[in-house]
Homo-oligomer: A and B are copies of this chain.
Amino acid sequence: MSAPRPITVLGGTGPEGFGLALRWTLAGETVIIGSRDGRRAQDAAEKIKQRVGANAKTYGNENVAACTAADLLVLTIPFEGHAALLKQLKPAIRPGSIVIDATVPLAASVGGRASRTLGIWQGSAAQQTAELVPKGISVVAAFQNVGAELLNADGPVDCDIIVCSDDPNANQIVRHLATKILGARAIDGGKLENARILEQITALLIGLNIRHKGHSGIRITGLPDAAYKPA
């Protein structure tokens, strides 16, 4: 058995990050919740411990300290805080880290609708991240399409997680993380440039949730079994 590799969820006090932290804690992972406010991060970790039980390996810390404590970093912050946080974290990101970006550039970030996205010069929020992290850091786009309500509910999620990265090894590691979420299947979605499609799918799902009063997700059909499992 390999040594436990902690996961830091930046923005883990928000509903999406909290839900991911909860799911990974349930799967036995070590999770560090990062927040601007270290106290709020600890409170969130405490909530997860109360829900999961005494064995939960979940901690909270201020963003920069949380960043230095792990080399699997998950970004679940609103798009309006995305670039500023990355600039702040840049010196704290450990060499060899994987930055997993779940951010969606919803138009709500600038006062618009959550069912629309902003156009990002680089193509997607995840590609913007790739420009902002230190050289040699792998960026992976994932988890945009599994909603906070699904993650925070009990039981399996009915959702596939498409994972995009220019680093096939990082892609595989993140697909393993994705399959630790009960019910989720993980699919290699190719290069990081495809993140733009994942981000827009979230806007579509939010629109469907509003229109039909549900908590939607997506499943990809028609691929061979091996496509749904990390090697």
Contact = CB atoms under 8 A, between A and B. Distances in A.
6 contacts: A189-B207, A197-B201, A212-B224, A213-B224, A216-B222, A218-B220
A188 interface: yes
Given A187-B208, A207-B189, A207-B190, A223 B227 contact: no
Contact of A220 (B208, B213, B223): B208
Contacts of A158: 221-222
A219 B216 CA distance: 10
A30 interface: no
A115 interface: yes
Copies of the polypeptide in the assembly: 2
Interface residues of A, number: 39
Contacts of A212: 187-188, 223-224, 226-227
- 3 shortest A-B CB distances, which residue pairs? A212-B227, A214-B223, A158-B221
A215 interface: yes
A214 B227 contact: yes
A162 B116 CA distance: 16
Contacts of A205: 220
A205 B204 CA distance: 16
A193 B150 CA distance: 27
A204 B194 contact: yes
Contacts of A23: none
A82 interface: no
B207 A214 contact: no
Interface in A72-111: none
Interface in A161-214: 162, 187-190, 193-194, 196-198, 200-201, 203-205, 207-208, 211-214
